[in-house]
């Protein structure tokens, strides 16, 4: 019996971080490309399996916190999800609506795992590790994938798609929401870098910041600059309690500071200088040269793009027209593109709303917006109470505000990774508030909640597998018909 308990304890350490490690790769993209395939089906199905396994092992091993905080989260989250469930009966695109609800089931599972886990920092570190790997995927796409794509003879739609893939995007639908993902995650990376002050934490924050800059998302870069200023102000005014001890002039501390400084400089030398070298006179790497042109263009036209919101106003006008036709209940989650086409009058076209609020009101109407605002209301109540504790809650608050501002102005909630971390970082202000006043849930309630989560995730795995296999079958038919 003791041996089994030890094995379960080791398994919990092994499998607990894996779902969080895979979150940065739930970017919603599937590309069958030369040199590498970003396979959405395998990433998503593996993520669900690891999530189920992590929950099962933690519950069996009894390494869990009280679930009353999670029940409180469900109280405020379920109205938003319920609107989507009801919309199945009237949605304009039933498959996309069910797929949208499938992602919300992932949110429920991940928040449950995060809320019951005793070692939250381990989960957050796994999330950061996945983000760092995502940055290396961007670098690999730049140096390996894109150059080989240019060597291929592409025509028609393939050539058009390649011309639009200038900036590396990891597994996201494009680089813009990837920048939003990094800007949401960076405050947590900074928390570990400032608190732990070890080489790995500092390197992780540097790499994530590099990924943010490399995504070239203007909105994300502006938001990151603002919260860097806020953090500097809080630290200067000693409003931020990070337990930063005074550094004495000992040889050990001097070596530590020099090591961190050397790692910082070396990281940016290894990442940025090769890019500038490739942009030299030879211009042998065509894809890197195109990235350089994109950077120069965005810097030169930054004031113009900022004033016009880069064409978003025309997209929002059509979305508002769609909302005015069905203002109460909307068109159904995931059906934004169907509604947008009805009012599309030429010019700039996009499948995505480029605004979380616009997406919510078009897809779920005023009822959906009110349910979402009800959730945000509970978050703000908890935020006001937990900020007194300072520490990591301050960084969670910065992530929440940054994420929400970015989502209002860009593609965000359409991407599973972004939606998941938004609800993870906001859930702490619901699950952790007044923990000492929350009574322990009785065993029947705990078992009911646990069974509900497992059934929900099992159903999600079944749907994801069927949808993924169907998509692969369609791709094979298309390939065979073209041969």
Greater confidence, 60 or 95?
A: 95
Q: What percent of the chain has pLDDT over 90?
A: 38
CA dist., res. 387 & res. 382, Å (int): 8
Angle between helices 68-86 and 416-431 (to 10 degrees): 140
Mean pLDDT, rounded, of the chain: 79
**CA-CA distance, 58 to 16, in Å (whole number)?**
8
Furthest-apart CA atoms within the chain: distance in Å: 72
Mean pLDDT of the region 66-84: 91
Provide the pLDDT for residue 3: 45
* Pairwise pLDDT comparison (442 vs 334), residue with the higher score: 334
Q: What's the CA gap between 480 and 57, in Å, rounded?
A: 44
Residues of the chain above pLDDT 70, percent = 69
Model pLDDT for residues 19-41, shown as the tens digit of each residue: 999 999 998 886 655 555 667 88
Q: Which tens digit of pLDDT belongs to each residue from 433-474?
A: 866 555 555 667 778 888 899 999 999 999 998 887 766 655
Q: Is the pLDDT of residue 297 over 60?
A: yes
| pLDDT for the residue 480 | 46
Task: Give the count of beta carbons closer than 10 Å to the beta carbon of residue 229.
Answer: 10
Segment 116-136, tens digit of pLDDT: 888 889 999 999 999 999 998
pLDDT band at 483 (very low <50, low <70, confident <90, very high): very low
Spatial CA neighbour of 122 closest among 113, 112, 134: 113
Q: What is the pLDDT of residue 421?
A: 97
- Please give the distance of CA 404 from its chain centroid, rounded to a whole number: 12
Q: Answer with the residue of higher pLDDT: 447 or 156.
A: 447
Q: What is the 3-state secondary structure (H, E, C) of the chain?
A: CHHHHHHHHHHHHHHCCHHHHHHHHCCECCEECCCCEECHHHHHHHHHHHHHHHHHHHHHCCCECCCHHHHHHHHHHHHHHHHHHHHHHCCCCHHHHHHHHHHHHHHHHHHHHHHHECCHHHHHHHHHHHHHHHHHHHHHHHHHHHHHHHHCCCCCHHHHHHHHCCCCCCCECCHHHHHHHHHHHHHHHHHHHHHHCCHHHHHHHHHHHHHHHHCCCHHHHHHHHHHHHHHHHHHHCCCCCCCCCCCCCCHHHHHHHHHHHHHHHHHHHHHHHHHHHHCCCCCCCHHHHHHHHHHHHHHHCHHHHHHHHHHHHHHHHHHHHHHHHCCCCCCCCCCHHHHHHHHCCCCCCCCCCCCHHHHHHHHHHHHHHHHHHHHHHHHHHHHHHHHHHCCHHHHHHHHHHHHHHHHHHCCCCCCHHHHHHHHHHHHHHHHCCCHHHCCCCCHHHHHHHHHHHHHHHHHHHHHHHHHHHHHHHHHHHHHHHHC
| pLDDT band per the 50, 70, 90 thresholds, residue 299 | low
Q: Are strands 31-32 and 37-38 parallel, antiparallel or unpaired?
A: antiparallel
> Is pLDDT above 80 for 288?
no
Domain around 207:
2-482
d(Cα 108, Cα 22) in Å, to the nearest integer?
Answer: 16
pLDDT at 368 over 90: yes
Q: Minimum mean pLDDT among 112-121, 286-295, 323-332, 386-395: which range? A: 286-295
Total domains, the chain: 1
Binning pLDDT at 50, 70 and 90, where does residue 430 land? very high
Return the top range by mean pLDDT from 6-15, 116-125, 264-273: 116-125
- Tell me what the mean pLDDT of segment 195-216 comes to: 84
Residue 400, pLDDT > 50, answer yes
Q: What is the pLDDT of residues 161-189, one digit of tens each?
A: 555 567 788 889 888 899 999 999 999 99
* Residue tagged 């590790």 (tokens): 129
Of 87-96, 193-202, 250-259, least confident by mean pLDDT is 250-259
Name the least confident of 19-28, 102-111, 298-307, 442-451: 298-307
Q: What is the pLDDT at residue 278? A: 46
pLDDT at 365 over 80: yes
Mean pLDDT of the region 1-18: 62
Q: Which of 22-26, 288-292, 316-320, 420-424 has the lowest mean pLDDT?
A: 288-292
């Amino acid at each position: 019996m003791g041996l089994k308990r030890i094995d379960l304890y080791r398994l919990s350490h092994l499998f607990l971080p894996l779902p969080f490690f895979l979150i940065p790769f739930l970017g919603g993209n599937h590309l069958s490309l030369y040199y590498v395939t970003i396979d959405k089906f395998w990433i998503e199905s593996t993520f669900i399996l690891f999530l189920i396994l992590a929950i099962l092992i933690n519950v069996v091993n009894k390494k869990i916190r009280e679930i009353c905080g999670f029940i409180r989260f469900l109280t405020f989250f379920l109205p938003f999800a319920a609107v989507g469930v009801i919309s199945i009966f009237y949605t304009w695109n039933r498959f996309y609506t069910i797929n949208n609800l499938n992602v919300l089931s992932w949110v429920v599972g991940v928040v449950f795992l995060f809320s019951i886990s005793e070692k939250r920092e381990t989960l957050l570190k796994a999330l950061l590790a996945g983000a760092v790997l995502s940055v290396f995927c961007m670098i690999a796409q730049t140096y390996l994938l894109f150059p080989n794509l240019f060597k291929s003879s592409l025509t028609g739609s393939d050539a058009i798609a390649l011309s639009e893939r200038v900036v590396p995007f990891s597994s996201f639908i494009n680089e813009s929401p990837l920048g939003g993902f990094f800007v949401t995650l960076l405050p947590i990376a900074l928390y570990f870098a400032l608190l732990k002050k070890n080489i790995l934490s500092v390197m992780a924050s540097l790499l994530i910041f590099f990924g943010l800059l490399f995504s070239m998302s203007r909105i994300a870069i502006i938001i990151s600059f603002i919260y860097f200023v806020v953090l500097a102000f809080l630290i200067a005014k000693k409003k931020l309690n990070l337990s930063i001890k005074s550094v004495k002039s000992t040889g050990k501390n001097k070596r530590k500071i020099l090591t961190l400084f050397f790692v910082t400089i070396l990281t940016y030398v290894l990442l940025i200088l090769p890019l500038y070298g490739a942009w030299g006179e030879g211009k042998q790497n065509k894809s890197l040269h195109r990235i350089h042109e994109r950077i120069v263009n965005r810097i030169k036209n930054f004031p113009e793009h900022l004033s016009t919101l880069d064409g978003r106003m025309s997209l929002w006008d059509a979305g508002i027209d769609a909302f005015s036709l069905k203002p109460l209940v909307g068109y159904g989650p995931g059906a934004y593109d169907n509604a947008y086409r009805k009012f599309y009058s030429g010019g700039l076209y996009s499948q995505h709303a480029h605004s979380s609020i616009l997406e919510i009101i078009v897809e779920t109407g005023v009822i959906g917006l009110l349910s979402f605002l009800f959730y945000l209301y509970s978050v703000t109540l908890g935020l006001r109470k937990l900020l007194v504790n300072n520490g990591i809650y301050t960084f969670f608050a910065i992530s929440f505000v940054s994420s929400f501002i970015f989502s209002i102005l860009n593609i965000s909630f359409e991407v599973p990774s972004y939606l998941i971390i938004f609800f993870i970082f906001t859930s702490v202000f619901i699950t952790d508030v007044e923990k000492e006043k929350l009574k322990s849930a009785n065993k029947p309630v705990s078992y009911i909640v646990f069974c509900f989560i497992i059934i929900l995730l099992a159903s999600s795995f079944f749907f994801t597998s069927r949808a993924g296999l169907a998509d692969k079958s369609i791709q094979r038919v298309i390939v065979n018909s073209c041969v």
